[in-house]
Structure 1
């Protein structure tokens, strides 16, 4: 194997290892689960700390799934994942926050996951589903730890105003 190819594969392996040792994003086993990436193309810049995947990208780790036409992963100088940004007509992210909680699913033309803040931004045609509850708008922000949703009709850089809509399922009352 030629040296530049071997160095690139080593850098990619180290990058993926850095993703795997992150604090758990949701389910306890997610952080130790293998990371699977499928894409048509990868551009890795180890010095800049970025990996850009293109072409029907799908990234899975445990219960987490991130898809888009383009996904950019950024890490800091210590090799820790800082942000994942998926873009496309309907970029998508799903995660199971805890074994006894419903799956959280989000869509947008841009989906950004801020790792340290455990915060998700859904931008342009944003949609968030958690159990029977749904939220739609131009911009949605979801804080994983606090289970807080913030929604706006307008998103920066987006032409169309997309009014906020939500549907909340009533809590089921148990019969005595």
Structure 2
């Protein structure tokens, strides 16, 4: 008789502990929403506070989605999520900052979400879509709470310089 694998339960339990203790990601309901994880493999190091998912990784909680070929989740000493890093040819993150605002979507070969700072780094072939505006470059940094974008043509460890490009949509006047 074959025993059922505990890996799926362990995977969800670990992610629940890692992400569930994080502050509200954007919408109030995001932090209390169920966390759904799909991947081909999990490597967990509980003592180091890391979980590494590989193989077409998809993580979703409320309005937040993070995808990549590899996603590493790191906890701080208090057991709270401190950083999630997705890598791949087109790693991706999306999140809804507020109920009345559109999704913020970002891509890069590396996407780093710093939980405490509520800051997203998009590295190498970085692209950010926010409120109809688009930003491209070698490195983009977006601060969720302040709605601040910082862009550079160069990123550490990236050989190719990627000029910063922006397309800004004009604000609509009342009555138009």
Q: Which residue of 2 aligns with 1:34?
A: 34
| Secondary structure, counterpart of 2:146 in structure 1 | coil
| Secondary structure, counterpart of 1:32 in structure 2 | coil
Shift of 1:18: 3.7
Instruction: Find the aligned partners of 1:119 and 1:33 in 2 and give their Cα distance.
Output: 20
Aligned CA-pair RMSD: 1.9
1:82 correspondence with 2:76: no
TM (norm. structure 2) is 0.92
Render the CA deviation track for 1:113-170: whole Å, top value 9, x for unaligned.
0011110000000000012100000000000110000000000000100000001101
Shift of 1:21: 3.0
| Secondary structure, counterpart of 2:31 in structure 1 | helix
Name segments (4+ residues, structure 1) moved above 4 Å. Answer: 5-12
Instruction: Find the aligned partners of 2:40 and 2:150 in 1 and give their Cα distance.
Output: 34
| Secondary structure, counterpart of 2:126 in structure 1 | strand
| Secondary structure, counterpart of 2:16 in structure 1 | helix
- Equivalent runs, 1:63-102 vs 2, <5 Å: 63-102=63-102
Structure 1's unaligned 5+ residue stretches are: none
Instruction: Find the aligned partners of 2:137 and 2:64 in 1 and give their Cα distance.
Output: 23
1:127 correspondence with 2:127: yes
Confirm or deny: 8 A CA contact 2:12 2:37 kept in the other structure: no
Count of equivalent residues = 172
Instruction: Find the aligned partners of 2:13 and 2:38 in 1 and give their Cα distance.
Output: 15
Shift of 1:102: 1.3
Q: Which residue of 2 aligns with 1:163?
A: 163
Confirm or deny: 8 A CA contact 1:21 1:32 kept in the other structure: no
- Equivalent runs, 1:141-152 vs 2, <5 Å: 141-152=141-152
Render the CA deviation track for 1:59-118: whole Å, top value 9, x for unaligned.
000000000000000001211000000000000000000011111000000000001111
Instruction: Find the aligned partners of 1:6 and 1:87 in 2 and give their Cα distance.
Output: 27
| Secondary structure, counterpart of 1:17 in structure 2 | helix
| Secondary structure, counterpart of 2:29 in structure 1 | helix
Instruction: Find the aligned partners of 2:65 and 2:111 in 1 and give their Cα distance.
Output: 12
Shift of 1:6: 6.3
Instruction: Find the aligned partners of 1:81 and 1:174 in 2 and give their Cα distance.
Output: 42
